[in-house]
Structure 1
Amino acid sequence: MDDPATLDRIADLDRRLVAAVRGIKLLTAVSWPATTQQEFLAAHRRGNAALPVVSYPKLEFSAVREELDAIDAAADPQHPLGDYLHRTTESYRIATWLLESLGTAGVVEPSIRLFGKPGDRLAGGDLSNLDAARHFIELANELDRELVSEDQAYVLSAEVLQQELGEQIDRFFVHHKVRVEIDPNLIAKAAAGPTRIRLRSATAFTEYDRHQLLEHEAFVHSLTALNGREQPNLKSLALNSPRTTATQEGLATFAEQITGTIDIERMKRISLRIVAIDNALQGADFLDVFRFFLDAGQSDTDSFTSTMRVFRGVPLTGGCAFTKDTVYLHGLMGVHTFFRWALKNRRLKLCHLLFAGKMNLHDVFALEPYFDSGFLAAPLYLPPWVARANGLAGMLAFSLFANRIRLDRVEEEDLVLGL
C-alpha cells in the first residue's frame, strides 16, 4: 500500500484543488433570472412572443487554469489517486473554457466534452440516448390514452411540500441540517445543494413530485454532498465536478426508478429534453423548441423552463445547445447496468461506496482500495433503499433474470398462467 508521504501529498493536492475551483459555479453562471420567464410568457400570451434577451457575466479563469495545471503536473497519472486528480482537474479546466464563452457558440464544444450529446451510443449496445428518448416518448404517448393518474388531481402547495419534506429530511439526516426553502426566483421546480433544497414558489406539486424530490434531490444529491464533506482526505468528493454529472444524475434518476417514484410522464419530460437538444443543435431556435414542448403537451410555463434548459449559456438563434440534459438517460442506463453488474459479480459493496461522495462509476472501482485502507471513509448516510441490502438484491436479481426474456418472442397465449 502507499506510504504515508504519498498519501499526504495527494491530500495536499486535493486541498489545493478544492480552493482553486471555489469560484467555478457552472449552473449558477448559466442560469436565467425569473424576470426573463415572466416577460417571455406575458408576450407569448399576448400572441407576440419573441426571442428572450439574456446576458451573461464576462468571466476569466486563466489564474485558475494555471493552478489546475500545476496540480495536474504534480499528480502521478499512473497512481489511482493521481489519476482521480488528473480527471478532476481536466473536468474543471474544460468548465472554465465553457464559462469564458458564455453567450457564444463557443459553449457547445466544451459542453459536449463534459456532458455528451444526443446520438451518443449507450454502453453495451448499438442504440443511442436519442433512440432511448424517442422510445420513451412514443411509449408515454401510447400510455397517455390508457393511464389517468389519480395523483395528478391531488396537488400540494410549495408551503405544504416544504413542511412535509422538511419533516422527512430532518428524521433522516440526523448529523446535519438540510433546510427546505421556497425560492420565488427559481425557474426550475426544485434545486438541491448539500444543506439546502429550494422549491419554486406559487407552484402546484403532485405526490409524484414529492416522492421524486425526496429520493432524487435529498437522498442522492444532498446525501452524496454531505458524505463527501465527511471525507477525511479527499474533500473534492463533496464538489459537483462536471465529470461526475452523468453518474450523479443517473444515480438520482435510478433512485426514483427503483423506489417506484418515477412515472412515465417524468420519463417523457427527460426524453423530450434530449430530442429538443438535438433539434437545437440541428438549427432550431428558442421559439422553435418552445413550440416543440407546447406541441408535446407541456404548459407554456413548463415549456419555457424546458426550453431554457436547452439554451442556457448559448445563443438563442439555433445551432447551439447546452447539452447537460443528455446525461439523464445515459446516466440512468449506466447506473442501472452498474448495479446489476455488482450483483452478478457479488460486489454489492461497490453500490454502497458510490454514495460516499460525488463520484463517477470509474472512481468507485479505482478508489475501492482506499476505502478498504481507511484513507477514504465509507458513506455516513445511505438511502433507505440501498441500506436494505436484501431488498435491493432481490430487485436486482429479478431484473437480471427478467432481462433475459425476449419480449419480441412472447405471444399473447404465452402469458396465460394455469388452465
Structure 2
Amino acid sequence: MPNPLENYQQKLRTLSDRLVAIQQPIRILDAIKWPAQWREEFFARGANTPPPADKAYYQSIPLGFDLNQTRAELKSLLSDIKKELGKKDPLGLILQDTTEQYLLVMDLLKDRGTTGFIDHSRALYGSAHDHLIGDRRSLKEVGEHLCDIFHLPAAKHISFAQPKLYDAEQSVGILQSKLDGYFTRHNVQVKLSDGIVSDAAAGGDSIKLNTRSKFSDRDLHVLEVHEGWVHVGTTLNGRAQPYATWLGVGSPRIAAHQEGLAVLLETLTFASFPARARRISDRVTAIHMAEEGADFLDVYRHFIAAGLSQNDSYAVAQRVFRGGRVNGGAVFTKDLSYVRGFVENLNFIHSAISAGRPELIPMLFLGKLNLNDIPVLYGAYLSGIIDPPQYVPPMFSDLNGLYVWFGFANGMHLIDMERVQGHFIDMFSTIPSVCPTIMSPTATQDVEL
C-alpha cells in the first residue's frame, strides 16, 4: 500500500520540476536590456535625446521561447497543482502563486514598450506608493528618508577613494578564491563575459564579470556577499531541496526578499558605503518620478542636478525606463525591491528575535522565497519535506552576535536622541573643522549590479 507522505512528496516534486523546466528560458532582464553603445551615443548627442528604446526595438529582441505556448503550459500546470495537491495545500499555494507570477511575466514581456507595461510591472514588483509590510509608511517615504541620510555632508566627508586596481581577469581569480572558501559542496565559477551591460551578474552557480570593467577591493567584497553568499547561495540551497525544487528558481515574487537580503548582507559585513546606499535609495525616487509622469530626460536631469555624475544619472534612468517608454507613461519598478526588501528583512529578523523565534532566521537563506512563505516552509522542514539550507552566512548560522546587535538596537528607542545629539553637536562646535587625509571627500563609485 503506498505511503501517503511519499505519494505527496512525489507529486510535489513532479509539479515543482515542471515549473522549473517551463521557466528555464524566461529571462526578463535579457528581454528588456539596452545595448551598451546607447550610453555613448546619448552623450555624443549632448544628452538631449533619449535612447531609441521603443516598442519596435523590444519586439526585435528574441525571447527564446514561444509566449503563447509557455502561457498554455503554465495554465495547465496551475490546473494540475490544484487537482493533485488540492486548492488549499500550504506548499501547493506557494507553487500556485509562483506559477501565477510567471503568467503575469508573459503579459509583461508581451507589452514591452507600451503603456500596458507599467500595470504588469506594478503587479509583479509593486509601486513607490506601496506600503511596507505592517507599516504605515510608503516606499516613497522610506526612500526619501534614506536619500536625506545618504546626502548628509558626513556621507561625503568619510568617503575616500577606492582605486580600481584589478582588471576583469585579475578580479576573476581574486573573487574565485573568496568563493571557494565559502561554497565547499559545489563548484561555483567566476567567469568573464562581454555580454552583460552591468559590471557583474550572478547566474545559477556562477558569477559573470564584465570584461570591460575594473574592480576595487571594496567592489569584490560587495560581489562576494551580494552575488555570492545571497544570490548564488540561495540558488544552490533551493536546488538541493528533495521535493520543493522551485525554491532554486526566482520569480518576481521573491525579488524584494533576494535584493533586500543582499543589501542587508553588504551592511552587516561592512562591504557597503554611503555612495552605494545612496544609489539604491535614489532608485526609489526615480521610480516615483517616472510613475508620476516624468520621462527619461526628466529623471536623468534630476540626478545631474542632485550631484550625480553623468554616467550614474544615465544608469539610474536606464534601469527605470528599460522595458517601458522613454517618453513617459510606462516604467520598470523592479528596483523598488532593494529598499523594500532591506527594510522588510530587517523587520522580520527584529520581530523573530522579539517573539522568541530566532530559529526562523536562517530560513531566510533556504532558497528563492517570499517572507510570507517562511511559516509554511518551516512547518514543512519540521515534517521532513524541506531540507535546511546548506549555505548560511556565518552571522546567521551562529546567531549570538546578531541577537546582541539587534538587542542593543532595540534598546536605543528608550533614548531621547534629539536631546543627546544636541549635547554632542554643541561639543563638536568647539572642534576645528579639519578633514583627515584618509577621510577626504572624493568621488567614489561602486560596482554596478
Q: TM-score, normalised by structure 1?
A: 0.92
Name the residue aligned to 1:271: 281
Quick one: distance in 2 between partners of 1:304 and 1:248?
Answer: 25
Aligned partner of 2:79 among 57, 64, 73: 73
- Aligned-pair distance for 1:156? 4.2
Give the aligned residue type for 2:364: L
CA deviation vs aligned residue, 1:74-130 (integer Å, no higher than 9, x gap): 322311111111111111111111011111121111100111111211233322111
- How do residues 118-137 of structure 1 correspond to structure 2 at under 5 angstroms? 118-137=128-147
Q: Residues 24 and 186 (structure 1 numbering): CA distance in 2 closer, same or farther, change over 3 Å? A: closer
CA deviation vs aligned residue, 1:215-238 (integer Å, no higher than 9, x gap): 111100010001111111111111
- How do residues 172-321 of structure 1 correspond to structure 2 at under 5 angstroms? 172-321=182-331
Q: Residues 411 and 88 (structure 1 numbering): CA distance in 2 closer, same or farther, change over 3 Å? A: same
Name the residue aligned to 2:405: 395
Q: Residues 200 and 177 (structure 1 numbering): CA distance in 2 closer, same or farther, change over 3 Å? A: same
| Contact 2:193 2:208 survives alignment (8 Å) | yes
- Aligned-pair distance for 1:13? 1.3
| Contact 2:164 2:214 survives alignment (8 Å) | no
CA deviation vs aligned residue, 1:350-399 (integer Å, no higher than 9, x gap): 11122121011111111112112221111111112212322222222222
Name the residue aligned to 1:30: 32
Q: Any idea what SS the aligned residue of 1:105 has?
A: coil
- How do residues 42-57 of structure 1 correspond to structure 2 at under 5 angstroms? 42-43=44-45, 47=46, 49-54=48-53, 55-57=57-59
**Is there any run of 5+ residues in structure 2 with no aligned partner, and where?**
427-449
| Contact 1:225 1:238 survives alignment (8 Å) | yes
Give the aligned residue type for 2:255: T
| Contact 1:115 1:326 survives alignment (8 Å) | yes
- How do residues 152-191 of structure 1 correspond to structure 2 at under 5 angstroms? 152=162, 155-191=165-201
Aligned partner of 2:69 among 60, 63, 83: 63
Q: Residues 127 and 100 (structure 1 numbering): CA distance in 2 closer, same or farther, change over 3 Å? A: same
- Aligned-pair distance for 1:204? 4.1
Quick one: distance in 1 between partners of 2:77 and 2:135?
Answer: 37
| Contact 1:77 1:83 survives alignment (8 Å) | yes
- Aligned-pair distance for 1:194? 2.0
Aligned partner of 2:121 among 111, 119, 135: 111
Quick one: distance in 2 between partners of 1:262 and 1:146?
Answer: 14
- Aligned-pair distance for 1:183? 2.8
Q: Residues 405 and 71 (structure 1 numbering): CA distance in 2 closer, same or farther, change over 3 Å? A: farther
Higher RCO, 1 vs 2 (CA within 8 Å, ≥6 residues apart): 2
Quick one: distance in 1 between partners of 2:70 and 2:409?
Answer: 45
Quick one: distance in 2 between partners of 1:295 and 1:208?
Answer: 27
| Contact 2:321 2:331 survives alignment (8 Å) | yes
Quick one: distance in 2 between partners of 1:173 and 1:145?
Answer: 34
Quick one: distance in 2 between partners of 1:49 and 1:183?
Answer: 31
Quick one: distance in 2 between partners of 1:36 and 1:145?
Answer: 32
Q: Residues 261 and 77 (structure 1 numbering): CA distance in 2 closer, same or farther, change over 3 Å? A: farther
Give the aligned residue type for 2:379: P
- Aligned-pair distance for 1:61? 2.0
Name the residue aligned to 1:99: 109
CA deviation vs aligned residue, 1:253-297 (integer Å, no higher than 9, x gap): 111122222222122101111111111122222122222222233
Name the residue aligned to 2:359: 349
- Aligned-pair distance for 1:181? 2.5
| Contact 2:118 2:329 survives alignment (8 Å) | no
| Contact 2:132 2:138 survives alignment (8 Å) | yes
Q: Residues 309 and 23 (structure 1 numbering): CA distance in 2 closer, same or farther, change over 3 Å? A: same
Give the aligned residue type for 2:192: I
Q: Is 1:368 matched with 2:378?
A: yes
Q: Any idea what SS the aligned residue of 1:150 has?
A: coil
Q: Residues 87 and 2 (structure 1 numbering): CA distance in 2 closer, same or farther, change over 3 Å? A: farther
- Aligned-pair distance for 1:209? 2.3
Q: Any idea what SS the aligned residue of 2:157 has?
A: coil
Name the residue aligned to 2:43: 41
CA deviation vs aligned residue, 1:148-197 (integer Å, no higher than 9, x gap): 42343565443443222111011211222222223334322321122221
Q: Residues 155 and 278 (structure 1 numbering): CA distance in 2 closer, same or farther, change over 3 Å? A: farther
CA deviation vs aligned residue, 1:127-152 (integer Å, no higher than 9, x gap): 21111111122222223576242343
Q: Residues 79 and 145 (structure 1 numbering): CA distance in 2 closer, same or farther, change over 3 Å? A: closer
Quick one: distance in 1 between partners of 2:414 and 2:32?
Answer: 43
Quick one: distance in 2 between partners of 1:147 and 1:268?
Answer: 14
Q: Residues 293 and 179 (structure 1 numbering): CA distance in 2 closer, same or farther, change over 3 Å? A: farther
Give the aligned residue type for 2:226: H
- Aligned-pair distance for 1:403? 4.1
| Contact 2:168 2:214 survives alignment (8 Å) | yes
Give the aligned residue type for 1:65: R
| Contact 1:188 1:305 survives alignment (8 Å) | no
Quick one: distance in 2 between partners of 1:203 and 1:406?
Answer: 47
Quick one: distance in 2 between partners of 1:103 and 1:199?
Answer: 29
| Contact 1:151 1:207 survives alignment (8 Å) | no
Give the aligned residue type for 2:51: P
Q: Is 1:378 matched with 2:388?
A: yes
Give the aligned residue type for 1:19: A
Q: Any idea what SS the aligned residue of 1:354 has?
A: helix
Name the residue aligned to 1:323: 333
Quick one: distance in 1 between partners of 2:388 and 2:194?
Answer: 37
**Is there any run of 5+ residues in structure 1 with no aligned partner, and where?**
none
